[in-house]
């Protein structure tokens, strides 16, 4: 993953709301089955208009963090499990598509020494051999829509094809089905692109990128596979995670 640069402009406000609520669910501030504060309370807390708040809450609902009960409000589900995210058809959208389903270019694939930014989430020492796969995905019209970097320890990547430059003709989750993955950690942030990212994604140097960082974990919490997906902010999350 490339080093993030400092933002001079604020990222989309709904991204901050998503991260705040996800963090509260993960640290137990919002416990499973607890009711979220009302829309009015949350709009006051975050200082946003209702449509911005609703966009963030809809994202969290679609990705398995919360649920809605008509006439009652929104309730916490907890940190999403793999099964729950499959049931939403949204949570693992970027893992559930085969590379041959969309125009995809593999920019790099192979074994490297883990930098600190990757070693830390995987729970391995800096410099540990890991397999990295970097790919650029385009729309049907040829526009770049996703720059993704996937990484895993070498022993985990055996038999997955992550280190092979050939396109994977099935979903990555299916390719990883032999791993005892139980739950998913996912966080959305935003930042300015590096010069290389701006070139690959055809964005301006001052345009924000949406950054989705995902870790596929076993029940004990250990992360087996990680990924960073960079999406042009002009597309938004809704276009990258269409409703089913």
Note the pLDDT tens digit of each residue in 37-70. 999 999 999 999 999 999 889 888 877 889 999 8
Which carries the bigger pLDDT value, residue 188 or residue 215? Answer: 215
Closest by CA position to 26, among listed 233, 183, 212: 183
Structural domain span for residue 111: 13-240
Question: Average per-residue pLDDT in the chain?
Answer: 83
> Per residue in 107-146, pLDDT tens?
999 999 999 989 998 989 999 999 999 999 998 899 999 9
Residue 68 confidence (pLDDT): 92
In a domain, 55, yes or no: yes
In a domain, 126, yes or no: yes
CATH number of the domain bearing residue 45: 3.40.1410.10
| Domain count along the chain | 1
Can you tell me the distance from the alpha carbon of 117 to that of 132, in angstroms, rounded to the nearest whole number? 13
Can you tell me the distance from the alpha carbon of 159 to that of 162, in angstroms, rounded to the nearest whole number? 8
Instruction: Give percent of the chain with pLDDT exceeding 90.
Output: 47
In a domain, 220, yes or no: yes
In a domain, 178, yes or no: yes
Residue 162 binned pLDDT confidence (cut-offs 50, 70, 90): very high
Q: What is the pTM of this model?
A: 0.72
């Amino acid at each position: 993953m490339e080093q993030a640069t400092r933002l001079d402009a604020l990222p989309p406000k709904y991204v901050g709301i998503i991260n705040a609520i996800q963090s509260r669910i993960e640290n137990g501030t919002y416990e499973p089955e607890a009711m979220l504060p009302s829309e009015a309370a949350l709009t006051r807390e975050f200082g946003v208009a209702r449509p911005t708040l609703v966009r963030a809450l809809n994202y969290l609902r679609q990705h398995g963090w919360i649920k809605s009960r008509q006439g009652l409000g929104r309730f916490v589900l907890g940190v999403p499990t793999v099964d729950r995210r499959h049931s939403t058809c949204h949570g693992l959208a970027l893992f559930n598509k085969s590379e041959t389903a969309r125009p995809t270019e593999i920019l790099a694939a192979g074994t490297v020494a883990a930098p600190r930014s990757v070693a830390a989430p995987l729970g391995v020492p800096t410099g540990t051999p890991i397999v990295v796969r970097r790919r650029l995905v385009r729309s049907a019209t040829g526009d770049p829509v996703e720059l993704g970097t996937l990484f895993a320890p070498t022993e985990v990547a055996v038999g997955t094809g992550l280190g092979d430059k050939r396109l994977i003709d099935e979903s990555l989750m299916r390719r990883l089905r032999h791993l005892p993955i139980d739950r998913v950690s996912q966080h959305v942030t935003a930042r300015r692109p590096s010069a290389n990212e701006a070139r690959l994604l055809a964005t301006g140097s001052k345009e924000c990128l949406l950054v989705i960082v995902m870790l596929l974990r076993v029940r004990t919490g250990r992360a087996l596979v990680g990924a960073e997906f960079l999406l042009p902010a002009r597309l938004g999350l809704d276009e990258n995670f269409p409703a089913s």
